[in-house]
Amino acid sequence: MLPAVARAIGEIRCTFEGCGVEVEEDGSGGAFVIVTGIRLGCPYVQTEVWIGFQITFQYPYADVYPHFTNADLARQNGAGLGEGFGSGSFRGQPAMQISRRSNRLNPQTDTAALKLLKVVRWMKSRS
């Protein structure tokens, strides 16, 4: 695992203190990451979810995209999830893909932890 990827994982552990962080090297200098126990709640049925993603060897010059979460993610009101969500798989398991690309990536400030925070904030704002 490249040093920049290892630092990114350390930052995720600090930023999401209290959540589980599972890491598996991808064999190319990057890593697959799953953060468990992310508190979500309203507008979703699930109170906690996992979010997974790959930090590639190009990090920090490549966007951390896409993110994945529980395949059974559902809204409390029964409505569809809407734009930005789609069925997919992560690491061979069914998952809901979350499409939130960073259009103006700044490798100095747009960290993997910040991107995950933005994804969680966006998910919570989907009322």
pLDDT in tens, 21-78: 999 999 999 999 999 999 998 899 999 999 999 999 999 999 999 999 999 999 999 9
- Res 22: pLDDT: 98
Lowest mean pLDDT among 8-12, 32-36, 88-92, 105-109: 105-109
Rounded to an integer, what distance in angstroms lies between the CA atom of residue 101 and that of residue 78?
26
Mean pLDDT value across residues 76-87? 92
Q: What is the pTM of this model?
A: 0.93
Total domain count for the chain? 1
Lowest mean pLDDT among 3-7, 29-33, 107-111: 107-111
| pLDDT greater than 90 at residue 17 | yes
| pLDDT greater than 80 at residue 1 | yes
Rounded to an integer, what distance in angstroms lies between the CA atom of residue 81 and that of residue 73?
8
- Res 99: pLDDT: 92
Is the CB of residue 80 less than 8 Å from the CB of residue 74? Answer: no
Which domain range does residue 73 map to?
3-124
- Res 103: pLDDT: 78
Rounded to an integer, what distance in angstroms lies between the CA atom of residue 41 and that of residue 45?
7
